[in-house]
Amino acid sequence: MMADTATIQKLERLALQLRFDLLEMMGVGKAGHLGGSSSLAEITACLYFHTMRYDPANPKDPDRDRFLLSKGHCVLIQYAALVELGVIPREELKKVKTLDCCLQGHPDMDRTPGIEAVTGSLGMGLSIALGMVLGLRLDGRSNRVYVIMGDGELSEGQIWEAAMAAAAYKADNITGIIDFNRIQATGPTREILDIPDVARKWEAFGWEVLKIDGHDIGQILEALEKAKKITGRPAVIIAETVKGKGFSFAENTAAFHNGILTEELYRRGLTDLQALHTALDARYAKEKCS
C-alpha cells in the first residue's frame, strides 16, 4: 500500500525537524555523532511518527512497540524524536552530554525517558530485541521490536549469533534495520574491513531481506509494512543511506562520525537545513498545483 502524499509530506518535514534538533544538540565546540544520526532521520521519523505503536503520553505502555538503537552512539536522533513527541522536554537538547544531564552520550535508561535498553557497546541490540520478543510472546503480546544496526557494526560476531537465534525462534516480531551508510568511525567500511554480500548473508541466516533507499519516506513506510506481514521469520531492511545527510560538509565523510562543529560549520549547517526547508515548501506548493 502506497502512503498518501500528506503522510509523506508530514514525515519529510519531521525528518528535517529532527535534523534541526541534531544541530541544536551538536552546538559549537562539542563532539557529537552527527553523521550516523543524520543518516537515520527519515527512518526514525517513520518509526516514531507513523509505523510504531507508541503513545508519547504513556511511554511505558506495555502495548508499545520498541525502538532499539543497537548503534547507540547515534542516540541523538532518538533524543530528537523523543523531544518532538514531548517525551523529553525541549530545553534538554542544549544540555546534551553535560554533567548530570538527562541526555547522556549513549542510551541510558536511568536518566532518559523513552530509552528502552542500554546499548552502545556495539553488537548487542539484536540480542536484546530477541529477548524482548521471546518474553512478550510468552505473555501473548504482539508488540514489535525495531532494532537499528550500523553497517560497520555488522563486524561484531554477536550480531550473527543473534541472527541465527532469531531465525531459529521464528522471531517475526523483530524488524531489523541496517543503516547502510558505508562509513564507520575511521573511514569507509569497505576499507576498514569489507563485509561483502550483506543481503545474502542475512538471507543465508534465515531472514527475509528488504532493500530500500533509507531517505525515501515512501520506500521506508512500504518496507516497514511489508516486514510486519512476514510470518515465520524475522525481516531485515537494508537501508541505503548517506552519512551526514542534509549537512553539506558532513555528507559521505568519516570526519563527522564523531565530530566537532566550529561556529562557521554550525552556521553552514543551519543554512543547509533552511535551504532544505525552502525546497520542501516549494516542492509541496508545486505538488498542490499539479
- Return residues touching other proteins (CB under 8 A): 108-110, 116-121, 123-124, 127-136, 138-139, 157-158, 161-162, 164-165, 168-169
Q: How far is the CB of 45 from other proteins (least distance, A)?
A: 24
Task: Show the beta-strand stretches assigned E in 139-266.
Answer: 145-150, 174-180, 183-184, 187-188, 208-213, 235-240, 259-260
Cβ-based nearer residue to other proteins, 164 or 275: 164
Cβ-based nearer residue to other proteins, 120 or 269: 120
Q: How far is the CB of 120 from other proteins (least distance, A)?
A: 7
Q: What is the DSSP string of 179-210?
A: EE-SEETTEEHHHHH----HHHHHHHTT-EEE
- CB atoms near residue 226 (< 10 Å): 16
CA 168 – CA 186 distance, rounded (Å): 35
Cβ-based nearer residue to other proteins, 43 or 171: 171
Cβ-based nearer residue to other proteins, 102 or 255: 102
Helix (H) / strand (E) containing 129 = helix 125-138
Q: How far is the CB of 197 from other proteins (least distance, A)?
A: 22
Q: How far is the CB of 263 from other proteins (least distance, A)?
A: 35
Q: How far is the CB of 39 from other proteins (least distance, A)?
A: 23
The angle that helices 217-229 and 5-26 make with each other, rounded to 10 degrees, is 110
- CB atoms near residue 234 (< 10 Å): 29
Contact 132, 144 (CB under 8 A): no
Cβ-based nearer residue to other proteins, 104 or 241: 104
Q: How far is the CB of 156 from other proteins (least distance, A)?
A: 9
Which residues is 180 bridged to in the sheet?
240
Cβ-based nearer residue to other proteins, 66 or 245: 66
Q: How far is the CB of 51 from other proteins (least distance, A)?
A: 20
Cβ-based nearer residue to other proteins, 164 or 279: 164
Q: What is the DSSP string of 69-118?
A: ESSGGGHHHHHHHHHHHTSS-GGGGGGTTSTT-SS-SS--TTT-TT--S-
CA 241 – CA 221 distance, rounded (Å): 15
